[in-house]
Amino acid sequence: MPEKSMRHAINDALSEELARDDSAYLIGEDIGKAGGSFAVTRGLHDEFGGDRVIDTPISEAAIVGSSAGAGLTGSRPIAEIMYADFMGLAADQVMNQAGLFKYMFGGDVTVPLTIRTVNGGPGSNAAAQHSKSLHGLFMHMPGVRVVLANTAYDAKGLLKSAIRSDDPVVFFEHMELYNREGEVPEKSYTLPLGEAAVEREGADVTVVATQKMLHYALDVASSVADDISVEVINPRTLKPLDVETLVESAKKTGRVVVADESVIQNGPASYIARRIEEEAFYHLEAPVEVVGVDDTPIPFSPPLTEAVVPDASDIETAIRGMPRL
């Protein structure tokens, strides 16, 4: 299989879906002529024209709010919010508009809206307002699906499914994974929303990891393989969450680490830990260990960033800290 960057894989997904469905369009800031702030939509404006790849004013609420309205009226909007950090400006439009219409209006309508956004790259030292991982906020909103781009392969297959989904989906890319290459089939494909992937099988410890942490986890799993057999699971979608796959693995290994770049406090890693503890309680050797950001904004200075943001060594420490290994 050819290797592609995640950026390229996402671009392909967008291009294929725009070609496939006339009711789909892209909307966002600088996504058109400029090709996107991170070059993810490059070429699409030329290919599909300004009517289907729409540059907007700097207006996150209107981007998402208008997309909710367009979704109600027969379109399939694909909105881009440049950084997940800016989703706060469109929180109402997700939480009280797009996410609620189907239910409030009696169940018959659909809001086939996808919001693509980017979890921060704390490693790019863009500091506290451009570095957050914020999928946790949206997992708490009924009616909204939450999907992560963790590998190039996932990104393409899941984004296509997100776009085709008749529910609003917030799709989180990751700044530091755009350049990362991975195998992506030439042929068109989709991946189901709600199925986790066992990326590596193992017997001793389960590591559930997202985005950058997934790649660290895989590295660690290889490097400790002589001592410890680590199973690595990529949850892929957080809402719906494939609890079954996670629990099955937890029951097998009895030891679980969850690694996610968000804040731990009421964050996704804590929630995943909770679901595993709930369902696999009597099979666990110890409580689930969580790796994430501990109630701290992301600082600018590289040594500070490194201190705050988890990395491979934190995952390894968590694995090695598991009892009776």
Whether the Cβ atoms of residue 150 and residue 191 lie closer than 8 Å to each other: no
Instruction: Please select the residue that binds other proteins; options are 10, 26, 53, 70, rule is CB under 8 A.
Output: 70
130 is catalytic: yes
Q: State the number of CA atoms in the 13 A half-sphere of 45 facing the CB.
A: 17
Report the chain's terminal Cα–Cα distance, integer Å: 37
Task: Tell me which residues touch a copy of itself (CB under 8 A).
Answer: 85-86, 88-89, 91-96, 99-100, 103-104, 127-129, 136-137, 139-143, 239, 262-263, 265-268, 270-271, 273-275, 277-279, 281, 284, 286-288, 290, 293, 295-297, 299
| Residue 114 is a binding residue for other proteins (CB under 8 A) | no
Window 101 to 160, contacts with ligand TPP (CB under 6 A): none
d(CA 172, CA 13): 14
DSSP tally for the chain: helices H, then strands E:
12, 14
Exposure string for 16-55, b = 16+ CB within 10 A, e = fewer: bbbeeeeebbbbbbbbbeebbebebbeebbeebeeebbbe
Choosing from 8, 130, 135, 174, the catalytic residue is 130
| 61 binding other proteins? (CB under 8 A) | yes
Q: Per rule CB under 8 A, is residue 68 in the interface with other proteins?
A: yes
Query: With respect to other proteins, which residue has the nearer C-beta, 7 or 130?
Result: 130
Task: Mark the segment that binds other proteins (CB under 8 A) among 2-10, 55-63, 225-233, 284-292.
Answer: 55-63
Which residue's entry shows tokens 């369902």? 279
Q: With CB under 8 A, what is the number of residues at the site for other proteins?
A: 81
Torsion angle of the four alpha carbons 160, 161, 164, 170, in this order, in degrees rounded to the nearest 10: -90
Is residue 95 within the footprint of ligand TPP (CB under 6 A)?
no
Among 49, 185, 240, 321, binds other proteins (CB under 8 A): 240
Longest dimension (CA), the chain: 61
Considering CB distances under 5 to 8 angstroms, the limit depending on partner class, which of ligand TPP, a copy of itself, other proteins, none binds residue 140?
a copy of itself
73 to 92: interface string for ligand TPP, x by CB under 6 A? ---------x---x--x---
CB count, 10 Å around CB of 307?
Answer: 10
Q: Within 10 Å of residue 88's Cβ, how many Cβ atoms?
A: 14
> Minimum distance from CB of 294 to a copy of itself (Å)?
9
- Minimum CB distance to ligand TPP smaller for 82 or for 272: 82
Q: Which residues are catalytic?
A: 130
In the complex, which residues of this chain contact ligand TPP (CB under 6 A)?
29, 58, 60, 82, 86, 89
